Amino acid sequence: MLEARQPEAGAPEPSRRAPLHPISRRHLAALAGEFGILQHANGSQADPAHGYCVDDVARALEVDLLHARVLRWASVSQSAWRSLRYLEDAFDPATGRFGNFRAIDGTWSAGAGSDDSTGRAMLALAAAIAAAPEPEMAERADALFDRALPKAARMSSPRARAAVVLACHGAPNPARKILMRTLATDLHVLFRSYARPGWPWPEHELTYENALLPRAMIVAGNALGATTMLRIGLQVLDWLIDVQTADDGHLSLVGNGWWPHGGAKSQFDQQPIEATSLLLACGAAFAATGKPLYRETMERAYAWFLGENDLRVRIASPLRGASGDGLTPRGRNTNEGAESTLMWLTAAEHIRAIRAVEAAATAPVVALPPGSPGAIPLGPGARRLVEPRTAAARAAGTLRTGAIKASMQPSIQPSEAQR
């Protein structure tokens, strides 16, 4: 349970919180095909010409597991099983990798998938291992995770390594803990060797899903008691927040023209994946430190979807559970593809979860008369109390997915000697 904390000196003023909306899966249903979620859309209509990809199917599985906390498993199980079967079919035992693209008729594109798509698949499998209510699903996800692990351990992409760090943390066993330490140490070395004054980033340019990297450093550093790793992850995240925050406090994300070192930061098109990756990294940082900056930035990343952005236009359509594909110089990209929609739904559920935890921590306990339904028989003279079980409280009590666990861990105070 989160503890109430006093605001720090210099902490940002809390912004007006954007409203939460009931979960809507209408657009997910519109994007669903025979084998999984279709990756592209023309406006709000699914575009079958581009078929499916591992990245989006994996993200869809994670969203199903998040939605199950509030909607119950029966409402999402068919979709979740379809996604898991896709990942099983995508795995090539000969290469140890996941294929990525699949046509609408079910045929697979030639060639192995990318490192990043493998990392994304591993994250989804870890979420299923940790949170799937059906033992068979968790067991099948666990078996596939271990089959993919040897190749995943040798991937070179920093984002793929970061994803595997988070996956191993979300579904731990002794071998996975060792790999988490190894890959997190590799990221640590990369950050320390590449950083330069004014540019703490381990690449020549900021591109996409940037906050995934410091998130992995923060989660691993916190779990391992590696204070230097944790500190670097937090410093880099602080820099990402600073360079993507406008003077009035709203987020102004790096656009998909990227930001090369020594060059100009691209303003457009801003992508939903940037907002959500920042939100998740700040969740991990808040769990590790309790600093209000990170909790506030989570809210601002969520609010970016609802109009707190450079153009003051709404990117998400909450009533349909959809998101536009980005913020362009002319406004909202009206195409509502899978990645963008899943990023909106992920952001909304993480905000719903952390607000529920905070509400449960401060909600009054309701006293019930002895013998009432729900009363807990205690010893003689003891009070009989029960907390209200709202949907929000249920969500707070079931924060079990790998992604949520990574962002909601209790704070630790590691020593430098434990590194």
pLDDT one-digit tens code per residue, 246-303: 999 999 999 999 999 989 999 999 999 999 999 999 999 999 999 999 999 999 999 9
pLDDT one-digit tens code per residue, 207-237: 999 999 999 999 999 999 999 999 999 999 9
Q: By percentage, how much of the chain surpasses pLDDT 70? A: 83
Burial (0-12, 13-18, 19+ Cβ within 10 Å), 248: exposed
Using pLDDT thresholds of 50, 70 and 90, give the confidence band for residue 365.
low
Helical H segments across 171-314, by residue range: 174-194, 212-224, 227-243, 272-289, 292-305
Using pLDDT thresholds of 50, 70 and 90, give the confidence band for residue 415.
very low
Mean pLDDT throughout 128-153? 96
Residue labelled with tokens 């294929």: 99
Higher pLDDT, 173 or 377: 173
Which of the listed ranges 226-230, 365-369, 378-382, 388-392 does the model predict with the highest average pLDDT? 226-230
Q: Residue 89, Cα to own-chain centre: how many angstroms?
A: 24
Name beta bridge partners: 205: 260
pTM of the model: 0.84
Compute the C-alpha angle 320/326/330, nearest 5°. 110
- Domain boundaries 37-363+384-411, CATH class: mainly alpha
The least confident of 56-70, 181-195, 376-390 is 376-390
DSSP 279: H
Produce one character per residue of 4-42: b if its CB has 16 or more CB atoms within 10 Å, e if not: eeeeeeeebeeeeebeeeebbbebbebbbbebbbbbbbe
* 66 close to 124: Cβ distance less than 8 angstroms: no
Positions of E strands within 62-111: 91-92, 97-98, 101-102
* 240 close to 211: Cβ distance less than 8 angstroms: yes
Dist CA 389 CA 346 (whole Å): 23
pLDDT one-digit tens code per residue, 27-38: 999 999 999 999
Token code pair at residue 266: 């691209």
Domain boundaries, the chain: 37-363+384-411
Compute the C-alpha angle 164/167/172, nearest 5°. 120
Dist CA 282 CA 289 (whole Å): 10
Dist CA 87 CA 168 (whole Å): 17
Q: Where does residue 336 fall: left (phi above 0), alpha (psi -120 to 50 degrees), or beta otherwise?
A: beta
